[in-house]
Amino acid sequence: MEKLACINFRINYEIEQENVIQMMQKMGYLYRGENNKALKIEDTPLLSHEFIRNTKKGRYHLFIVFGEKDSGTEDYPQAKVFAHFDIIKYKKGKERHFPDLNEKRVFREIYRIEEKLIKNGIGFLEDKDRYCAHRTIRVENLTELLKILNKEYSKYKKGKYRKRFHQYQIVINLIEQDPYLHIVLVYADTSYKEHLLLKKRAKNELKNLLSRF
């Protein structure tokens, strides 16, 4: 099962995109500019900012999408980060990139970025992303996944599906990064004023969902 990181940072008010870009550059990232071809939700391209940081074994490759998050109680600035690590090999004198789908390696880098965001008063990792389940599948499996989601879930936005039962709610978010499809699942107990996020249930639910095709 492929695993790439797709997480959200809450950005503090009055912080500009340029502040985040400059911080990433100070961390050793090369800023490659805007990109509107790497990511999309269904048929809608997402404007992202591309970053690369080389290491001895390969490179971290990130796309950041800046936007506004509607949490239901407030709107706030958000940076959605898509990250993976490429192992670099040379074949016949040409540089080739092979995604290293090691979730732990990528999340160590995510937490490193969070430390810098907090230190510089820019933002922090959203709580939801500490307690949700992440998976990445091949886009070619999207059709089978949608058969299940359209039957058992309600679609309420592009790329977003929801199921409610008793005091629980499951939300699934899909974002395409060809040839991969990012899946983020949140499992919440809604009987609390502030929804209680259940990480173990989220991981089990997503595992069971993907085992069906």
Overall domain count for the chain: 2
Least confident of 69-73, 143-147, 193-197: 69-73
Among candidate residues 71, 92, 126, the one where a domain is terminated: 126
Domain check: are 40 and 13 in the same one? yes
**Nearest residue to 203 via CA among 170, 174, 181:** 170
Distance CA(117)–CA(108), nearest Å, equals 14
Whole domain around residue 112: which residue ranges?
Answer: 5-126
| Mean pLDDT of the 152-159 span | 95
Return the CATH number at 34: 3.30.530
Which residue did the predictor score with more confidence, 192 or 174? 174
pLDDT exceeding 90 applies to what percent of the chain?
A: 70
Return the CATH number at 185: 3.30.1370
- Both tokens assigned to 209: 């969902």
pLDDT exceeding 70 applies to what percent of the chain?
A: 95
Domain check: are 117 and 168 in the same one? no
pLDDT of residue 103: 74
Domain check: are 140 and 178 in the same one? yes
- Both tokens assigned to 186: 């949140």
- Under the banding of pLDDT at 50, 70 and 90, the label for residue 70 is low
Domain check: are 142 and 112 in the same one? no
DSSP state of 12: P
- Under the banding of pLDDT at 50, 70 and 90, the label for residue 1 is very low
Q: What is the mean pLDDT of the chain?
A: 91
Among candidate residues 126, 149, 166, the one where a domain is terminated: 126
Domain check: are 114 and 165 in the same one? no
Q: Is the pLDDT of residue 150 over 90?
A: yes
Domain check: are 168 and 66 in the same one? no
**Nearest residue to 159 via CA among 72, 4, 46:** 46
Contacts of 96 (CB under 8 A, 6+ apart): 88, 89, 90
Domain check: are 92 and 29 in the same one? yes
Domain check: are 96 and 136 in the same one? no
**Helix, strand, coil proportions of the chain in percent (round to 5)?**
25, 50, 25
